[in-house]
Amino acid sequence: MSLFNQDKKAYLLLADGTIFEGIGFGAEGTVIGEVVFTTGMTAYQETLTDPSYYGQLVTQTFPLIGNYGVNDADNESSKSYIGGYIVREWCNTPSNFRMENTVEDFLKEQNIIGIHNIDTRSLTRKIREVGVMNGAITTEDVYSRKDELLEKIKSYKIENAVSTVTGTEQRVYKNESPKYKVALFDFGYKRNIRNELVARGCEVIVLPANTTVEELKAINPDGIMLSNGPGDPTENTEIIENIKEIAKLGIPIFGICLGHQLMALSQGCHTEKLKYGHRGANQPVVDLRTQRTYVTSQNHGYAVVGESLNPEIGEVSHVNANDHTCEGIRYHNINAFTVQFHPEAHGGPLDTSYLFDEFIEVMEKEAK
């Protein structure tokens, strides 16, 4: 892929044959992926740098993107893993005192194909009605290649997601006066998970996804964090078996998003693919103990089937107020609790950041 003038024609081709014509920005060429939508009004940079979007063509439902630019401080990872970017209108004259670059410059640097000036409302309604489907963004003539592209689109599948986005070596992030040592499994983690732990007095050791039980024992952590990440959770069979053994150590465990799903699978639960997923910063979640509803940030296409949880093993702690899917589990048989949503969300909402405090309290209790 190479770079091109912003006025060049671009196309979005869906698996059902629908074509949206628009204007390209970022890189040029052709990319195939799973077309999804996210409803966040802000935090588009966090979306662009969230590894959980690996292999996906991300549609922003908010109509104007890029008005406050981008900056290095707000990146959730060292690079972007999205397949392509779809927006209604992008702002080429952003203004913000923290701004260091524009969205288009970011896409060019990351070699990501973007398309704007398409009807994202119509696209989103189609996905909501039909379900998530594969598609392609191309800056080439889509009509002459339609049949060829449709074959590739229909055979596309996101594979090896976690192994693609995870780090390959241990990295240590220290607090000035650390109270606890937390092992953070990197399944495609967002930096603000690490930041929330460091801010609460933790030394965080980020571990590759395939770190073994023996390697974990050598670190001797006070707590274990299972991070978010991309792809079908059932694909990670070795990691699931590894988590099953890690859970037997008795060390406090907190899981987020994919970490929540992997822990559930390790304890005998099942997962399912949602029709169009939960992606955005406005998902209502009910805490079943308090019956309080929180507004949460989410990004996932799969969910744990709450009914598959053995009540002797644990209980569903949170549910989605819209579709009643499982949003959290508190375990009885192991020292763990997990949630499907993102309590570390930046830029918000921050309603559920208290869960990090709860994780600290569990480690503090175990240390006594």
Give the tokens for residue 120.
């994202």
Domain assignments of the chain as residue spans, ordered by start: 2-158, 162-367
Cα-based distances in Å from 101 to 43, 74, 144, 250: 15, 12, 36, 46
The answer for residues whose C-beta is within 8 angstroms of residue 5's C-beta and 6 or more apart is none
d(CA 176, CA 105): 36
Give pLDDT tens digits for 110-138. Answer: 999 999 999 999 999 999 999 999 999 99
Domains 2-158 and 162-367 equal at CATH topology level = no
d(CA 305, CA 295): 21
Question: Does position 1 have pLDDT exceeding 80, yes or no?
Answer: no
| pLDDT for residue 348 | 85
Question: Does position 3 have pLDDT exceeding 50, yes or no?
Answer: no
Active-site residue (options: 260, 318, 342, 346): 342
- The correct CATH number of 2-158 out of 3.20.80.10, 3.50.30.20, 3.40.50.300, 3.30.360.10 is 3.50.30.20
CA angle (360 as vertex; 358, 250 as ends), nearest 5: 95
Report the Cα 20 to chain-centroid distance in Å. Answer: 26
Give pLDDT tens digits for 296-328. Answer: 999 999 999 999 999 999 999 999 999 999 999
| pLDDT for residue 7 | 67
**% of the chain surpassing 90 pLDDT:** 95
d(CA 232, CA 64): 31
46 is catalytic: no
Active-site residue (options: 269, 318, 344, 346): 344
257 is catalytic: yes
Average pLDDT of the residues in 67-93: 96
| Assessment of whether the complete model's pTM goes beyond 0.85 | yes
Beta-strand ranges (E) seen in 214-270 are 223-226, 253-256
Contact at 8 Å (CB) between 265 and 240?
yes
**Topology (CATH level 3) of domain 162-367:** Rossmann fold (3.40.50)
| pLDDT for residue 89 | 97
Closest CA to 76 of 203, 227, 226: 227
344 is catalytic: yes
Active-site residue (options: 46, 196, 257, 269): 257
Give pLDDT tens digits for 135-179. Answer: 999 999 999 999 999 999 999 999 999 999 999 999 999 988 899
| pLDDT for residue 2 | 38
